[in-house]
């Protein structure tokens, strides 16, 4: 296939690593991240001494500061703790790409670690809010479970507007599980059928248990650097062809259209920079916080027309052997979801284009897309990677 | 309550709660907006006036909640986003003729505002299906 990919910046991902996953005992978030960072840097042929850019959030107050101190990265030239939830990590690649291309840093370390499962840190109350905040005045009193209720409303609207069915949402969960069965690191590996998914407990209509991601411990580290520095890497480095980010809303009632996400802008920007279209993508890592998140992203990224996501995912299109391999690690639905999934999406995307994904390798994968989502489908960021 | 509920921009909305559903209306372009802000989102004009809304709208989306979120709300109950007749959308609870949460509804159903009393705050705007 002839592709007009555009390697404008010469920025690469030279190393990736997962933290310990699942239920992590005997480690702290900082020790988990340190291990992943050192492993990712080792892939890149580097050590912590080489890091001069730090892109971290959700690991203690003040963004990058505590991680930097812990790692001994005490004089970085560039720091960024962009706070857009699970989408922060693809946005970090965007920012690191520009910083590296401009020479503002040369070795950017991106990452995250969480022990949200062992800490039992999640509840559907959505956490405390300031009593005089807008959310406390106009949203919290109504008892919408967070985040699932927000996504449930989007799913209900999509069903109403386009005839999307619960079976079609279940297809997304089944595809993720099919991939997870090929990944020894996946948390949920039991077989799952559409029928089993639809028999699961309803939580917030129309979303059932199987429409929701896992709550696990985990995280990842990613090293972004120049093409020149990437030549010393111990594994093939991966080119960053494009990246983009956007946001739409915070309060659910302010979402301009419940069937359109910030992915429409983030993908337009990323694909435009990369000079590709959805048709060029060999393997997709969408943010599968909920099944509906994937369906909306498929439409907003241009894999199908708006409203056609339900029909698009039928017949195993996203599953092993399907036309658009997606969630190939098993995703947030079946592999791991540490609260912010974006960094793990980058790890899987890199491994697929390197051709090192083992039983779940997509044959000949050249172009991978990682698509992060944050908040209540509030934010999105998209990264295009190529061999 | 000795102090106004809400914040400096939203206080008029809450002062009228239980009596009237107030929206801001732009003095220049006539657009309504919710939640309140000190400028018009549609045309950037500075001048806005508080205006009683019709209190009617249609269900834009809704979810029946089957899990416990707040101590005072016993599942199942329906949370909705209502498109007000004036344009803006509000997140809300769907209540029955008895004023209690619980009834379901469908997207597109016509609804009208009702007020749910609260002990520590002004009445909360909720919606019930129009007769």
pLDDT in tens, A56-69: 999 999 999 999 99
Contacts of B34 in chain A (CB under 8 A): 253
Helix%, strand%, coil% for chain B, nearest 5: 5, 40, 55
CA distance B1 to chain A (A): 14
Do residues A175 and A328 touch, judged by C-beta distance below 8 A? no
Q: How many CB pairs under 8 A join A and B?
A: 94
The Cα angle at residue A199 between residues A292 and A152, in degrees rounded to 5: 25
Confidence class of residue B131 from pLDDT cuts 50, 70 and 90? confident
Contacts of B35 in chain A (CB under 8 A): 134, 137-138, 251, 254
Residues in Cβ contact with A12 at an 8 Å cutoff, skipping those fewer than 6 apart: A224, A225, A226, A227, A230, A233, A237, A238, A239, A240
Residue A338: strand, helix, or coil: coil
* CA A203 to chain CA mean position, Å: 23
| DSSP states of B56-117 | EEEEEEEEEE-S--STT-PSSEEEEEEEETTS-EEEEEEE-TTS-B-----TT-EEEEEEE-
- By the 10 Å C-beta count (0-12 exposed, 13-18 middle, 19+ buried), A38 is classed as middle
Asked if B63's CB is within 8 angstroms of A144's CB, the reply is: yes
* In the predicted structure, residue A8 carries a pLDDT above the cut 80: no
Per-residue pLDDT, averaged over A145-154, amounts to 98
The CA distance from A301 to A271, in Å, is 9
For B59, the token pair is 């269900």
Closest residue in chain B to residue A154, using alpha carbons only: B61
Residue B102 placed within a domain: yes
CA distance A163 to chain B (A): 13
Comparing CB atoms, the residue among A125, A157, A202 nearest residue B66 is: A202
Do residues A214 and A337 touch, judged by C-beta distance below 8 A? yes
Q: What residue numbers bound the domain in which B65 lies?
A: 11-129
Residue B1 placed within a domain: no
Residue B2 placed within a domain: no
Residues in Cβ contact with A105 at an 8 Å cutoff, skipping those fewer than 6 apart: A52, A53, A76, A77, A78, A96, A99
DSSP A255: -
Comparing CB atoms, the residue among B73, B107, B118 nearest residue A157 is: B107
CB-side exposure of A244: number of CA atoms within 13 Å?
A: 20
Comparing CB atoms, the residue among B81, B101, B126 nearest residue A252 is: B81
Chain B interface test: which of A143, A159, A164 (most B C-beta within 10 Å):
A143
Closest residue in chain A to residue B69, using alpha carbons only: A125
User: What's the pTM value of the predicted model, to 2 decimals?
Assistant: 0.96
* In the predicted structure, residue A6 carries a pLDDT above the cut 50: no
Q: Could you say which residues from 104 to 163 on chain A have a Cβ atom under 8 Å away from some Cβ of chain B? A: 124-125, 132, 134, 137-139, 141-145, 149, 152-154, 156-157, 160
What are the pLDDT digits (tens) for B32-50?
Answer: 999 999 999 999 999 999 9
Per-residue pLDDT, averaged over A52-81, amounts to 97
Min mean pLDDT across A58-62, A163-167, A203-207 is at: A58-62
Comparing CB atoms, the residue among B7, B69, B93 nearest residue A145 is: B69
Counting the structural domains of chain B, the total is 1
Residue B5 placed within a domain: no
CA distance B110 to chain A (A): 16
pLDDT of residue A124: 83
Question: Which contiguous run of DSSP H or E holds residue A163?
Answer: none
Give the max Cα distance, chain A: 57
Torsional sign, CA A223, A227, A232, A237: positive
Asked if A143's CB is within 8 angstroms of B63's CB, the reply is: no
**Residue A57: which of A67, A49, A47, A69 has the closest Cα?**
A67
CA distance A132 to chain B (A): 6
Residue B112 placed within a domain: yes
Q: Could you say which residues from 169 to 208 on chain A have a Cβ atom under 8 Å away from some Cβ of chain B? A: 201-207
Residue B78 placed within a domain: yes
Q: Could you say which residues from 43 to 102 on chain A have a Cβ atom under 8 Å away from some Cβ of chain B? A: none
Cα end-to-end span (Å), chain B? 34
């Amino acid at each position: 296939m002839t592709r007009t990919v555009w390697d404008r910046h010469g920025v690469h991902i030279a190393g990736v690593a997962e933290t310990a996953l699942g239920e992590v005992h005997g480690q702290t978030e900082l020790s988990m991240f340190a291990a992943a960072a050192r492993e990712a840097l080792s892939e890149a042929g580097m050590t912590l001494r080489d890091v001069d850019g730090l892109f971290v959030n959700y690991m203690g107050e003040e963004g990058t500061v505590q991680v930097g101190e812990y790692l001994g990265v005490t004089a970085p030239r560039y720091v960024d703790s962009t706070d857009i939830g699970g989408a922060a990590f693809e946005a970090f690649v965007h920012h690191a790409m520009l910083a590296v291309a401009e020479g503002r840093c040369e070795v950017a370390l991106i990452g995250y670690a969480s022990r949200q499962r062992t800490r039992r840190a999640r509840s559907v109350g959505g956490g405390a809010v300031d009593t005089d905040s807008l959310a406390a005045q106009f949203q919290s009193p109504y008892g919408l479970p967070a985040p699932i209720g927000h996504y449930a409303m989007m799913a209900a609207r999509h069903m109403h507007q386009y005839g999307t069915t619960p079976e079609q949402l279940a297809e997304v969960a089944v595809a993720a599980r099919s991939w997870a069965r090929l990944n020894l690191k996946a948390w949920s590996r039991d077989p799952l059928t559409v029928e089993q998914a639809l028999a699961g407990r309803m939580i917030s209509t129309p979303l059932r248990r199987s429409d929701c991601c896992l709550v696990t411990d985990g995280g990842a580290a990613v090293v972004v650097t120049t093409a020149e520095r990437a030549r010393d890497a111990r594994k093939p480095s991966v080119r960053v062809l494009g990246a983009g980010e956007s946001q739409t809303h915070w309060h659910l009632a302010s979402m301009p259209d419940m069937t359109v996400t910030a992915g429409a802008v983030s993908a337009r920007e990323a694909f435009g920079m990369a000079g590709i279209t959805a048709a060029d993508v060999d393997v997709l890592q969408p943010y599968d916080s909920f099944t509906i998140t994937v369906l909306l992203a498929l439409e907003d990224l241009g894999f199908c027309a708006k409203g056609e996501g339900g029909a698009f995912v039928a017949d195993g299109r996203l599953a092993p052997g399907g036309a658009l391999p997606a969630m190939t690690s098993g995703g947030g639905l079946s592999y791991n979801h540490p609260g912010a999934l974006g960094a793990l999406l980058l790890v899987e995307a890199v491994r697929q284009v390197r051709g090192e994904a083992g039983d779940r390798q997509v044959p000949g994968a050249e172009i991978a897309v990682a698509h992060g989502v944050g908040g209540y489908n509030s934010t999105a960021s998209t990264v295009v990677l190529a061999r | 309550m000795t102090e106004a509920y809400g914040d400096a921009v939203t206080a008029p909305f809450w002062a009228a709660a239980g009596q009237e559903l107030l929206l801001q209306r732009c003095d220049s372009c006539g657009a309504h907006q919710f939640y309140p802000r000190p400028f018009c989102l549609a045309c950037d004009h500075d001048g806005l006036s508080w205006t009683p809304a019709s209190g009617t709208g249609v269900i834009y989306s809704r979810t029946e909640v089957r899990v416990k979120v707040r101590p005072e709300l016993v599942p199942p109950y329906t949370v909705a986003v209502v498109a007000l007749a004036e344009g803006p959308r509000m997140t809300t609870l769907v209540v029955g003729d008895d004023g209690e949460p619980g009834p379901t509804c469908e997207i597109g159903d016509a609804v009208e505002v009702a007020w749910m009393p609260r002990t520590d705050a002004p009445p909360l705007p909720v919606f019930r299906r129009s007769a």
